[in-house]
């Protein structure tokens, strides 16, 4: 069974899920080295490895322990919206609590569970490449807020120690873990508290039929990916009714075709 009943229960109840230690020590070391170079010495990398999710980080795009969860919580047709990495030093942060609440009406972010199936909109996967303990400043979540019907109440939006909501939680995990959360869950990237930097890669996945972020992955990064990983950047459509029967935009179809990935050469 790809996702256990306990994992489904936990993800539905809280809006997030941790799969500990899914990466090998070699994978952790090589992605950490790439993130270090991107942030501190990009010229030491070839251009196609200077941005996520190229180079060593491409192992994360279609990691089986990630894709099997995405198939359960998004659906069988999944694309990668974007990817970025952090090398977060003590005292640095991503930002305050955001998301959650009535945005669930929006199909891009919306969270629903119907007929025993989860249908999440955009799902973020944080690949933690540093051990994280509660209190270190890993991503924090206002659990249940992905299903909240009222706007996030200000009494629950502080991440200041001593003023935090009783529903604000984080996680413990070893390096090499994946943390999944629906983008409809109210979440924050608070101040990192440890001397050892937080090294992480954050991938945003969506249903193949939706496209929120204008893709910003550099074309040279996409061009250098193996075809089966480029498939996560195929055009966002489900069916082509000009053919009989209709053509479905599956990964297999993409692999059999010479169709290019989605075009990222346009200027903002």
Ligand X SMILES: O=C(O)CCC(=O)C(=O)O
Catalog residues that contact ligand X under the rule CB under 6 A: 94, 124, 139, 187, 189, 202
Shortest gap between Cβ of 81 and ligand X (angstroms)? 11
Cβ distance to ligand X smaller for residue 63 or 124: 124
Contacts of 9 (CB under 8 A, 6+ apart): none
Cβ distance to ligand X smaller for residue 50 or 140: 140
H/E element holding 254?
helix 251-256
Shortest gap between Cβ of 202 and ligand X (angstroms)? 5
Alpha carbons within 13 angstroms on the beta-carbon side of residue 19 total: 22
Shortest gap between Cβ of 183 and ligand X (angstroms)? 7
Tell whether the torsion through CA atoms of 26, 41, 45 and 139 is positive or negative.
positive
- CA–CA distance, 57 with 38 (Å, rounded to integer): 12
> Which residue, chain included where needed, has tokens 């502080």?
158
Shortest gap between Cβ of 255 and ligand X (angstroms)? 30
Cβ distance to ligand X smaller for residue 97 or 251: 97
Cβ distance to ligand X smaller for residue 25 or 95: 95
Cβ distance to ligand X smaller for residue 204 or 224: 204
Shortest gap between Cβ of 65 and ligand X (angstroms)? 20
User: What is the token pair recorded at 24?
Assistant: 């090998």
User: What is the token pair recorded at 232?
Assistant: 């996560």
Nearest in space to 124 (alpha carbons), one of 93, 146, 148: 146
Question: Measured between alpha carbons, how far is residue 172 from residues 45, 80, 132, 137 in Å?
Answer: 32, 26, 5, 10
């Amino acid at each position: 069974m790809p996702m256990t009943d306990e994992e489904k229960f936990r993800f539905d109840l809280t809006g997030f899920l941790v799969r500990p230690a899914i990466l090998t020590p070699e994978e952790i070391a090589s992605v950490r080295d790439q993130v270090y170079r991107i942030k501190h010495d990009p010229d030491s990398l070839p251009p196609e490895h200077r941005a996520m999710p190229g180079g060593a980080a491409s192992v994360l795009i279609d990691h089986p322990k990630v894709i099997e969860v995405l198939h359960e919580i998004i659906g069988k047709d999944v694309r990668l919206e974007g990817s970025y990495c952090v090398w977060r030093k003590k005292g640095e942060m991503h930002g305050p609590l955001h998301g959650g609440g009535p945005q669930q009406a929006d199909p891009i972010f919306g969270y629903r569970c119907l007929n025993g199936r989860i249908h999440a909109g955009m799902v973020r996967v944080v690949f933690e490449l540093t051990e994280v303990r509660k209190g270190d400043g890993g991503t924090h979540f206002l659990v249940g807020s992905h299903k909240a019907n009222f706007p996030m109440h200000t009494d629950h939006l502080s991440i200041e120690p001593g003023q935090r909501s009783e529903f604000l939680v984080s996680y413990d995990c070893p390096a090499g873990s994946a943390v999944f959360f629906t983008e409809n869950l109210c979440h924050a990237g608070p101040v990192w508290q440890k001397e050892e930097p937080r090294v992480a890669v954050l991938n945003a996945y969506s249903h193949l039929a939706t496209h929120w972020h204008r893709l910003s992955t550099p074309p040279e990064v996409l061009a250098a990916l193996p075809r089966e990983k480029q498939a996560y950047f195929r055009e966002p459509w489900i069916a082509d009714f000009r053919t009989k029967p209709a053509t479905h935009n599956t990964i297999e179809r993409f692999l059999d075709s010479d169709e290019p990935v989605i075009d990222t050469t346009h200027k903002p």
